[in-house]
Every structure is written in structure tokens, then in C-alpha cells.
Structure 1
Amino acid sequence: MRSTLILYSGARLDLPAELFLSPNIQGHERLRIPSYSFFINHPSKGRVLFDLSLRKDFQNLAPVTVNRINNPRLEWKVSVPQDVPDTLIANGIELHEIKSIFWSTQHFDHIGDTSKFPSSTELVVGPGFTKAYTPGYPDNPDSPVKSADLKGRRVIELDFDSYQEPISIGRFKAFDWFEDGSFYLLDVPGRSVGHLCGFARVKPDSFILMGGDCAHHPGEFRPSKIAPIPKDLTPLHVAVHSKQTSVCPGNIAKKINTKSDIERSPIYKAAAMFTYDVDKSQWSVEGVQELDARENVLVIIAHDGGMLSVLQQAKGKEHLTFFQKEN
């Protein structure tokens, strides 16, 4: 049976919001966020992972990243009780069963530790990755990836312009990985060199967009002109089937979004510091908005803290998630 599961190993980041989001909103000065991975199981073509979240021994990342994490002026806090390999094994998945790993970006909270996987597991990266980031550390002391991440395994760099019959999902170039329409890789540029998103079919006409770092917060693409804030909002604590009928006015968002067209304009934009190409990133955000407005597409970015409570409610009830092993 084909399945797509959100994998959460307990990794958490606590970062200054102003480094990643603009404007700086009072009361939301810190980004306290999870980091997700996705497990895709194809009945005949194997098991793959989209992103690896963080490695447990993050002090063994490339020095350019470790120095940033340890810089007291940046005030970064990182917690990784388990990593993706731990969580897979705890849920009965052996690492040799993973055929491919897709990195959405070279960022440390996505690349995990590929060295824990056997050499039979191939690594798939986006356009321009090889030129920008290889060789890895220590051969290139400034690289954010390590040579050990790549050594001894097949590394595939996607070229979306090389296919005889180009495919698009919305405005994004796409590659049909399993060649049956069940899982696509999307070229979503801007946030980093070679940034990828995943697009998985979970029902005949329903999809999950694995957003990677296309945004660090859902407020970068919500609300939008296509999917504005409704007149009334149902509070998150009200269960779907609850007898409660509590609503709150949609214009409550005016307190945090000071733009003139707040009902139709995202709360945030990406801050320039950790955005490779601001213009391309904004173009990609607009493309994500187009997909997000479709009722049959669920957009889940790698650090959507709002999804965590939903996933925890589903734990043990639906085959949607892998969680960290209980102590």
C-alpha cells in the first residue's frame, strides 16, 4: 500500500524570529518550531525520505554551521532528543530499506546525518547543489555539508530542464519520481540554491505539499488574495465535531497584521539574511499560495508548529505519523 507519513523525532529549534521573518511582531520575537521529515512508502518501488530533520549530534555538523549555533550573540537554541534514523528503527523500519533521501535544502535542520544510512541509499538534491556546496567539509572549509554526508553513495542532482516531456505542478517544474503520478519533486527556487518541495498523492485527488523551507512560518503565504481570511474564524481549540459553535471575528488579525489589505495579504515576508534570492523566493511563495488555496492540497512546511498538535491528536488513531520513541 502506498503511504506518506509525517515523521517527527522531537527536534526543536528556538530562534530569533527577526533573522527569518519580517516584520518583527511584538509577542512573536522567537521562532519555537519543530522540524519534520516525510516517509513515503511505494508498494513496488521502495521507501524514500523527504528531508532528514536534524542530526542528534549537531555539534558534529560542518564548522560553518556549528559556529553559528554556538554564537551567543545569535541566541540559537537546538534540541534533538532523537534523530530520524532513531525514529525509523523504533517504528520497525530498518535503514537499509530506505532507497532514496531527498534534501529540500542544504540547511542543517534538513540534512540530518546521511552517514547513518548504508551506501545503497542514494541522495537526491536540487539544481545547482553540486556547484554551490561541493566538495564538502573539510575539503571545502566553508561548505555547510560534510564530505562524509556524500561519500560512497550515489548523489543525483536533478535537472528539471532535461526532460523531453516537461511536467508542471502549478507554476513549478516537476519530476515524477516513481513515474506513476504518486510522488513529484518540485523546483521551488529562492530560499536556497536548488531548493526542492515534495508533492505526494495521498488519495486519488488529494495531495500533500512538503514545503521544505519555502517558508519558515505559514504566515509567509497566508492569508492570500486567493484564500483570504474569512469573516468568522473557528478557534483552534474547538473540535471539528464539537457541539460548541464558538467563532471569533476574522478582523482580529488586524492586531498583528498592519497592512492595508490584511485579509488578503500574508502576515510575514522572508527576511533577507537567510534567503538566497529574495525575488525568486517571493515568486515561489506566490506559487505555494496558489496550491494552498486548493481544497485538495495540504501544505506542510518543515517547521509548521501549528501542525504538531494535530499530529499528536492523530497519533495512534491514524497511520499519519511516526513519533519519537517514548521513554
Structure 2
Amino acid sequence: MAQPPPDLKIPSSTTTVNIRIIDTTSRISGIPLEGFVSPAIKGHTLLTAAPAFSFLIEHPSNRKLLFDLGDPSTFDSHTALIVGPGFKDAFTPGYPANEESPIRESDYKNRELREISFDQGLKIGRFNAFDYFGDGSFYLLDSPGHAIGHVCGLARVTANTFIFMGGDACHHAGEFRPSQYLPLPSSISPNPLSLGSSTPCPGSLFEDLYRDGDGTKPFYTIAKGGGAIAHDADEAERTIGKVMEADARDEVLVVMAHDDTLLDVVDFFPKYANDFKEKGWVEKGRWLFLKDFAGAVKS
């Protein structure tokens, strides 16, 4: 039986932002999944045509943010670059001043490089949070693990609905689904193994893939050891635990940066995503990732 998800305790507000999800058209293919997730599941070994989503956030004041913006050097110097805790110490100065740095000095040269502090005591669920505009319309969430300074975003798109911008907190929905709040249903619709079919998919097909035989645990955990991608796998797992609490709520649309299952579910720029709940995107996209396990299930 599913546990009720914890209250995220998002402060009330009547101020909202408009969100446009951008399909940057970049695709990531051919990267072995063993560096990202564990255990291995038959037939699902590579990232294949994974997109890279960005988000245009439009505030009523006419201020705009671009979340997961891509190459910062292509933006003019009036555009501030927002980073998470520890970024400056870990990555600056950039190359060529520091030949070992993974970033270039040109990424932040002649612009404000603003590092967010999460020491105000504000929490959204179990995330340390920062109220970016100061009016409850958009929060940055401290979500370390994948990389130093990694942050997620939470946008209020109506008074009571939100879009969770997950970035690289996860690289496959099987890292946070199913969960104790969102167990795999006995009947799955739309059918992830036969898209367009009116016949639901039996949840029992995936029972042999349950981690530890438990249908309330995500199929995957973060990969650890040599070759693992995460900067801190244990911290990344803690972040995923917080993601699961948000993901269990129908009023929250969770969008990870590389979730290919959403390509045929959501509307992309220039269209807005604020009406996701009315369009049923949460329900349509929730279990589509199971298509990746087609080679491992018994027909």
C-alpha cells in the first residue's frame, strides 16, 4: 500500500511565473548507463537519443531566467550567471588561468557570477530552498550529488501547481520511480510497451525487475565505484529521496534534463507549460520510462 507523500510545505503565494520548456535539439547517445545507474537491466545499457531540456522562466516583473542555459559565453555581459554552493571554490578560476578547471574563464568573464547561499532556513520538502524573486513564484533547491553546486528549480505556474526542474539530479526516471509513495500500479495506462494501444500494460510484467523484490523501490540506484559519473553518489541518493517526495504529487510535473519519455508528452517552446495539469502530462508521462525495459520482461 502506498504511503501518503509528505507535505512539501510550499509557502502560499498568488504570484506565478510562465514556463516554456525548450527542446534544445541536442541529443546524447551511446553513453554506457553503467556509469550512471545500477543494477544493470537487460536490454537497457546505453543512453540513447536523450534530449537536453532548458526552461525559460518569465516573471510578471519582466525579469527572465534561463534554467540549464547551455553555453554561458554566448550570452551578453548583462546576463548574470547563477551557480550553486561551492561552485566558485571548486571551479574558478577557469581555463586557461587554471589548466585543470573544467570550465573556461570566458564562461563568466565580465559578468556577475552569483553563487546562491541556502542558509536562510527555508525548506521545500526536505530541500534547502532559495526564494529567487522573493514572492514564492520560483525557488532554487539545493540538490548536491551529481556535481558540486548542482541545483534544481521549482516554479509555481498556478497558485497550486508546480514544475520541478530536475537538471541532472537523475538521468533516468527509474532512479526515482516507483517509490513508497508511488508504487507501480497493477494496470499501467498509457501502455509503455505498446504506445497508442488502448489495452493497459500489466504491472506484473515488471515484478522480476524489482530491486530487492520490492515494488516500492526505484528500479535503479546511483552507480558507485570506479567509472561512476556522480561527484558524490551518497549525496546524489539523498537528493533523489527528496525528488521522490515531490514526484508523488499530481500537482507537480517533474522534468529531468534528459528525460526522452517526455518528448511526445509535453509542449515545447514557444508554447507554455503552465497548463500541464489540465492536459494530464503527469499521468501520461509517469510510467513511459518502462519502455526501456522491454528487453527484460517476459511476454
- TM-score normalised to structure 1 length: 0.73
Q: 2:33 aligns with which of 17, 23, 27?
A: 17
Equivalent of residue 60 in structure 2, options 13, 18, 43: 43
- Correspondences of 1:175-324 after superposition (within 5 Å): 175-234=130-189, 235-236=191-192, 245-261=198-214, 263-272=215-224, 273-311=228-266, 314=267, 318-320=271-273
| Corresponding residue number in structure 2 for 1:4 | 19
Q: Does 1:31 align with 2:47?
A: yes
Cα distance in structure 1, aligned partners of 2:163 and 2:114: 23
Aligned to 1:264, the other structure's residue is in SS state coil
What SS is found at the alignment partner of 1:10? strand
Map 1:16-165 → 2, pairs under 5 A: 16-32=32-48, 33-52=50-69, 112-161=70-119, 163=120
Separation in structure 2 between the aligned mates of residue 178 and residue 209 of structure 1, nearest angstrom:
16
Q: What secondary structure is seen at the aligned counterpart in 2 of 1:121?
A: coil
Structure 2 counterpart of 1:77: none
- The answer for unaligned runs of 5 or more in structure 1 is 53-111, 322-327
For residues 126 and 25 of structure 1, the distance between their equivalents in structure 2, rounded to whole angstroms, comes to 33
Alpha-carbon distance between aligned partners in 2 of 1:202 and 1:316, rounded to the nearest angstrom: 16
Contact 1:126/1:187 (<8 A) preserved? yes
Where does the alignment leave 5 or more consecutive residues of structure 2 unmatched?
A: 1-15, 275-299
The SS at the match of 1:11 is: strand
**8 Å contact kept, 2:20–2:270:** no
What is the aligned-residue RMSD (CA, Å)?
1.9
Verify the 8 A CA contact 1:21 1:271 in the aligned structure 2: yes
The residue that corresponds to 2:278 in the other structure is none
Paired residue for 1:173, among 125, 128, 151?
A: 128
Identity, % of aligned pairs?
44
Please report how far the alpha carbon of residue 318 of structure 1 lies from its aligned counterpart in structure 2 after TM superposition.
4.8
Q: Which runs of 4+ in 1 moved over 6 A?
A: none
- TM-score scaled by structure 2? 0.80
How far apart, CA to CA, are the structure 1 residues paired with 2:96 and 2:61? 38
**C-alpha distance in 1 between matches for 2:219 and 2:17:** 36
Given that 1:36 and 1:302 are in contact with CA atoms closer than 8 Å, whether structure 2 keeps it comes out as: yes
Contact 2:167 2:256 (C-alpha < 8 Å) held by counterparts:
yes
CA shift, 1:319, in A, is 2.6
